[in-house]
Structure 1
Amino acid sequence: MAKNSSSSTTAPDTAWLGRGRHLGPEPEQDVRRNLIALKAAGVLDDFLDLDPIEAAASTVLHPRDEAADPGPSARRLFEARWLVADDVTVRAQLTTYDPEGRRKEGEGVTWVLAAEAEQAWDVHWPSPATMFFPDSDQVAWDHDTAPGVRLRMTNHLPKDDDELRHRLRDCTRQSWFVHVVVHEAMTPDAKGQQPVSAFLPPSLRHQVVEHRGTPEQAQIADFAMKRELSVRMPRGGAVILPTAAQGADYDADRFTVRTVFLDGSEPTELLDRIKEFAALPRIMSPEAEQALTRLRQGWHLLTPEEELVHAQDMVTKYAEALDAMTTSRDLYREAAEAAQAALAEVTGGDGAPVPHVPGQTKTDGSPLSALTKAFGRFREPKK
């Protein structure tokens, strides 16, 4: 998989991008079962399950390029198409990858998901993640690539100061998700322990990782975030962490909520800030750019109308190729005839070279001159 490096490309407002890890034993089988079930239920228009090599070799909509290739570590590529808001088509690709280098125990399989709609993305649409993965706590598909954190649940901050700073760096530099830290003013009851991200709209719910600081962690967490990210964590409040590529649109005060009641009620102010943060222009990592390019240029799941357009395009291309071959054949034949004529002129028509006359110094009568003039007659009309 591609390494993260600097980029200046902003994610389009039509796209939904995600990257995580599946820690279960059969990630591709979980995806396959979910796709089959959703197609049978009429949620999906259609889906494809492709071998990466086959997928790279059969790219049809655009000429194949490096960005459209899922890469050597790709395990499987899935495509799905569905409708939202009655008539808006969404196309999505999910690629699973082997871990880089030697696989560590518990590291799982990395997945990259890119989805794009025909118009600006609405957070109230269904999450693309649940089109491929079952929305069940029993399937561990929702782990972030930053170690130790997971979607759809609360992730308590490490007790150790060094571990805490290391996690903050990982989450803000490596992750594609939005990270929110909520401080518990006092230990909450069962309702308060539920993640506040559960109140978010469906399409945003699987793009937010929620961290929790215990009451006694107020000072150490605040110090670590101030040192690493230049943000503060208010007691009993919450803060949305900036990303490494965050532009001038991030305002620490704007994305800090002073009070969050963890009693099971809907934290409206925090939810509004998360939605506002998620709507900011976001710089894509090179890997995210590749995923979006692969979706656009390496798409295979065509509708009947797209198949017809593709077939007509291929007929045109084949006709142009045939015409080019015919023209090349005619040019080759004319060149061969000119060569034969030149050879005949040089040899006098009997295949033997014309003898050289001693003392002859004119270049016009040389065999080389005859060949040059013969080919000159062939080239001149083509100028």
Structure 2
Amino acid sequence: MPKSPTVRATAPETVWLASGRHTGPAPQESLRENLRRLKAGETIQDFLETENSTDPDGHIFEARWQVAGAVTVRARLVTDGRERVDAKRRWTLAAEAERPWDPAWPSPATMFWPETSEIPWDRDTVAGLRLRDINPLPQDDKTLRRLLKDAGQHSWSINVVVHEAMTPDHRGRLPLARLLPPALRHRVVEHRAAPEQFQAVNWALYDLGVRVPRGGAVILPGTPARLGYDVQDFTVRSVFLDGSEPTELLDKVVRYAALPWPLPDEAEDAVTALRQDWHLLTLEEELAHARALAAAYAEALDAMTKSRDLYREAAELAHAALAEYKDLRGVTSPAREEPRKHDGHSLHQLTKTFQRVSDTIRSRSK
């Protein structure tokens, strides 16, 4: 009998998720410096660096800020403790607001990382692709196919493939990210296929079940694919790379981002950690937490006291039952026939005594 596919949790509407690579040294120093600056400027309310029990050399940063006047956002960024084989450190960022996420809100990435391009934090987890710039596709066919396959299967980002109908001038080389709503600018990877790569890029996209029109664009479905994704709905027939705003493509990226996202395992873990391992509490939250702990301790102590009293009373009743049994049997038997005469009565009396003990224990435990 075939196994049923695993049902994955979808990303809550209140959650913002991203994952990337930092290609420079000591990413934690860049994070600390930027967080201090943002707190001093009151962009964020507070931040905290906590220990990473699963990766002693890794770093965990928490930050809290408000958007839209009074909507609190809590975010948690985790960096790897060791460099990967490609000399890059992975970071994972999960943020959650008190209401469904609005793409017009500031990107949580800029609440941790500096926006300057001098700090190389804005790389996707796949092949170091840039999150805020154009990524020309490689000319080698095998490398091209492997890159798009990895992007379609392993990236958390929204991957957009654009084919250039003709080589654009400087106006057509401006990245799509600059025109997107703030909360999407660090979640999109823009791939560019040169005019002569039309056949090669579609050969590479074959395994992903999509195709890019000549001079157009397509948004990759991701793995697992977003719920409600239909390739026709997220394909653009023509993208004019003349400096004008590609409104149709921008609209499709925003709509794609709003689709329910079945979370990869690591993304689900990031959401769980954000909710369950949060340390940056306000004074009111600390007081509420302390009250909850006190109530839990009081309840546990009460249960332990009742359990102790119950066992003590049960022991006393058992001792009394044993003493009563001994009295019924007598310390010694004067003759062999005598105990046989009282065996039935003694057993009946003993059964009644232990039944009383059992009834007492059950009544006390309710």
TM range (shorter): 0.7 to 0.9
Letter in 2 for 1:190: H
Equivalent residue for 1:90, pick from 73, 84, 92: 73
1:364: how far off? 5.3
- The equivalent of 1:358 in structure 2 is 336
- Which range is displaced more, 185-194 or 265-274? 185-194
Q: With structure 2 as the length reference, what TM-score do the two structures score?
A: 0.87
- The equivalent of 1:77 in structure 2 is 60
1:265: how far off? 3.4
1:345: how far off? 4.2
Q: Secondary structure of the equivalent of 2:170?
A: coil
- The equivalent of 1:119 in structure 2 is 99
Q: With structure 1 as the length reference, what TM-score do the two structures score?
A: 0.83
Higher RCO (CA 8 Å, separation ≥ 6 residues)? 1
- The equivalent of 1:192 in structure 2 is 172
1:124: how far off? 0.9
- RMSD after superposition: 2.7
1:117: how far off? 0.9
Contact 2:51 2:59 in 1 (8 A): yes
Letter in 2 for 1:86: G
Letter in 2 for 1:341: A
Matches of 2:50 and 2:7 in 1, distance apart?
30
- The equivalent of 2:43 in structure 1 is 43
1:41: how far off? 1.0
Percent same amino acid at aligned positions? 53
Letter in 2 for 1:230: G
Contact 1:74 1:96 in 2 (8 A): no
Correspondence 1:20-59 to 2 at 5 A: 20-53=20-53
Matches of 1:266 and 1:28 in 2, distance apart?
37
Contact 2:134 2:173 in 1 (8 A): yes
- The equivalent of 2:288 in structure 1 is 309
Matches of 2:125 and 2:7 in 1, distance apart?
19
Contact 1:342 1:370 in 2 (8 A): no
5+ residue gaps, structure 2 = none
Alignment CA distance shift 1:144-1:247 (3 Å): closer
What are the superposed Cα offsets for residues 55-109 of structure 1, whole Å, 9 maximum, x if unpaired?
xxxxxxxxxxxxxxxx45882222111100001111111122357xx94142x22
- The equivalent of 1:259 in structure 2 is 238
Contact 1:7 1:285 in 2 (8 A): no
- The equivalent of 1:63 in structure 2 is none
- Which range is displaced more, 139-148 or 72-81? 72-81
Q: Secondary structure of the equivalent of 1:125?
A: coil
Alignment coverage as a number of residue pairs: 355
Q: Secondary structure of the equivalent of 1:266?
A: coil
- The equivalent of 1:57 in structure 2 is none
What are the superposed Cα offsets for residues 363-383 of structure 1, whole Å, 9 maximum, x if unpaired?
3576x8887655443332344
Matches of 1:201 and 1:105 in 2, distance apart?
31
- The equivalent of 1:10 in structure 2 is 10
Contact 2:59 2:81 in 1 (8 A): no
Letter in 2 for 1:104: V
